[in-house]
Every structure is written in structure tokens, then in C-alpha cells.
Amino acid sequence: MLAPTLSYHAVTMDLRALVVCPDQDSASLLTLILSELGMAAEHASSISRGLELLDSQHFDAVVLDYRADQGSEDFLARLRQSAKNRASKLIAIVDSELNARPVFGLGANFVLYRPLSSERTRISLRAARGLMRRERRRAPRTRLSSTANVAYPGAPELNAVLRDLSDGGTSIQTPNPLPRACKVYFEFALPGQQELVRLSGEVAWQDASGRTGIRFLDVPQSSRRLMQTWLQQNSFHPATGLPAQPPASKSATTQSSATQSPGAQSQRGPEPRPESKDAALVSNAGNRRGELRFACKLGAEVYRLGSSVPNRCILSDISEGGCYVEMPSPLAGQSGVEILVRTADTKLRIRGQVLATHPGFGMGVRFMFHDSGEREEILRLLAVVSTGPSLDEQPC
């Protein structure tokens, strides 16, 4: 039996997904991969149960086993009308012979085809997770050090120290861990204010040092105004960490090789690679055989860095770390390049370095990322490519 809620991940992970899927094997695979990617998953085996959860809880992503029937249409309509979840990322599971474009028109951000492939599912869910994290980073966050009174059922009130604040959450320091699954009540005064902020929240993550990320749940209008006023007045002191995200682990900048010849076969290798927002220049981790690669036919333009002269080309093989560029006259070895790729709903600029040239055929390029946002765009492109030829074959 699939556990209805993975409670451990619910308190150590800040992103939550709802999986609406009657097929037990598919639901188990989705839940497992979401867990691997740091997302708590809740399973609903029917549309009616999924609608109940939509109305009562917030989810950052919704995975729907779409059947092109009235139940699926009703679910999508309710999802986009939901105050809690209308902005959630939607991942639709569809039949392999179904044209995916109308599903995107219904609001899907990503599409998975039946039967589910663990590798392609992982690529799409990683891309969705990256987009969700990037949107969360847009919320203003401000450092502070202020005492709060914290209470939860069955325990005496305790004191905690607020470490940072946004209008959606905070991180606090407590002498003892908070319980994994319960509503937590806060009362605190922000520096320079006399009135108390009163609200409730839930644990999003915890670490061994006693720090806890809190996601706000019920915030009275008076308390929200106090926080917004304080954040506006102190917005020039940004916090370095995310209120509702675990502290980033130490990561090293590593490099990967791009494809060295056309027609290379896909290989599976080590999964998650560390990410570092602080690195000035991040290239993809792992080696060539440690990345899942996709054969494709993506029309593109490639530019030598510093030049505005386009060179028409085709990307025939792509991974998270690099690609093979088919063109009769490849650029000189070790050149810095920028590749412009267009798909049905994406325009993406990718910077990279030429690693190998094959006159008359093309060149292998390693991607170079300046921040995690650029890496996430590559993941989204891979998710589009992984859906199949109906989306990845673009005009040259």
C-alpha cells in the first residue's frame, strides 16, 4: 500500500506535490521520484479525493493522470479556480498516442507519457521542481534576530529566535526540534514595532543545528500588514537563505564533457548533482556517461561569443551538461559560444564552450551556467525534448 503522506519528507522538504493517479504502480514511481527530488508527495487514487485535497491544502505541483474525460476536465477547472492551488505547476500523464499540444493549452506545464519511464519522469519532475524553487526565490526575504513565542498542542510555550522573514515564511532557531506534523502558533514583535504579529504555520524543514523553516498558514490581515510594512522598510537587508528552504549544502564546481561525436547513445549515471548559487561560473557535474542524453532534432542558431553573426545548426544530441551541434563548418576548438534554441513555447539562450570539432559534421559543446536559473532552463528544455518527436522537431 502507498502511504497517504510521507511525513518525514513533509517536514524536511519545502515543496509539496499532489499525485492524482488511480494506477498504483505509476503512483508509486511518481512518489518515489518526487521523494528523491526533495518533494513531499500525497497520493489521491481518485478525482474526488484529489478535489478534496485541492480544497483543503496547498501544493506546489499537481500530477494528474489525465484521461480526456469529464472527471479530468472537472479537476482541471477546479484546479485553476482554486485559491490555494491555481498557480501550482501541473504535470499531466497522457496516452503515448495523444497529441500533447491541447493538454498544454489546458494549462499543463509538463507532460509525461504512459507507460511512465523512470528516466524521463525524473527529468520532467526535476525541471518542474527547479521552476518552483526559482519562483519561491522571488519573495523578498530579510534577515533579523527577534524573539518569538511559539506554541503547539500538548506542549508548553517556548521561546524561539527568528532568523529571517518573508511574507510567506520564516526560519527560526529553537533549543529542541519542533514536532514533525502539527500546526504551530507564533506571536512576535518585529524590530521597531510595538504591535504583535500573531499567525500560525507548519514545519517545512529542520536541520541538526536546531534551525527550522516555517511556512505560514493562517495570517490575519492585521499581522500581514505589520510584516509587509516591516519588510518594505528593511528590504535593503536581504537574507541569504530561504525561509522555507533547507540551508544549502556545500558544493563544489565540477565539469562535464560534451558529446564528442554525433549519434552518441544515451547513458544513465549518478543522479543528483549539487547546486551552488554562489559559484561565479557553474558547469554541469558528472562526466559524459554520467548523464542521460536525448537524441533530438532541434533547429538552433549558434554564435561565437562577442559576435552577432548567426550560424544555422541542428542540435542532435543533448543532456543537462552539453550537446552536439551539427553544422558543416564548426567553430574553432575551445571557442566560447552562445546557442539560441526555439521550441513551441520556449526561447532559450545557452552559453557553452566547444570541446571537440569534426569538420563536415559538427562540434561537441559543454554548457556553462552562471547561476542555477540557467541550469533550470536546460532542465525544462530536456523535459520538452523527452516528451517525444511531436515537440522536439523544430524547423531549421
Averaged pLDDT for residues 325-337 = 83
Q: pLDDT of 376-396, one tens digit each?
A: 778 778 777 766 543 333 333
Q: Which residues touch 396 (CB under 8 Å, ≥6 apart)?
A: 299, 312, 314
Q: pLDDT of 274-312, one tens digit each?
A: 333 333 233 333 333 345 667 778 889 999 988 889 999
Element (H, E) at 311: strand 311-318
Listed residue (336, 348, 340) closest to 304, CA to CA: 336
DSSP 5: B
Task: Return d(Cα 300, Cα 316) in angstroms, integer.
Answer: 10
Burial of 161 (0-12, 13-18, 19+ CB in 10 A): middle
Of the listed ranges 93-97, 283-287, 334-338, the one predicted with least confidence: 283-287
CATH number for the region 7-136 comes to: 3.40.50.2300
Strand partners, 304: 337
The grid coordinates of residue 225 equal: 500588514
Task: Return d(Cα 250, Cα 147) in angstroms, integer.
Answer: 29
Residue ranges per structural domain of the chain: 7-136, 142-233, 282-392
Looking at per-residue pLDDT, the higher value among 343 and 223 belongs to: 223
What φ, ψ does residue 317 adopt, rounded to 5°? Answer: -160, 130
Q: Decide whether 7-136 matches 142-233 in CATH topology.
A: no
Q: What is the pLDDT of residue 133?
A: 66
Farthest-apart Cα atoms in the chain, separation: 75
Range 282-392: architecture per CATH? Beta Barrel (2.40)
Rg (CA), the chain: 23
Listed residue (10, 1, 12) closest to 41, CA to CA: 10
Q: How confident is the model at residue 337 (pLDDT cuts 50, 70, 90)?
A: very high
Task: Return d(Cα 257, Cα 105) in angstroms, integer.
Answer: 37
Looking at per-residue pLDDT, the higher value among 282 and 201 belongs to: 201
CATH class belonging to 142-233: mainly beta
**Identity of the residue numbered 343:** T
Q: pLDDT of 205-214, one tens digit each?
A: 777 677 888 8
What φ, ψ does residue 105 adopt, rounded to 5°? Answer: -65, -25
Contact, 255 vs 352, CB < 8 A? Answer: no
Listed residue (287, 318, 299, 306) closest to 380, CA to CA: 318
The grid coordinates of residue 130 equal: 527547479
Q: What share of the chain in percent tops pLDDT 70?
A: 74
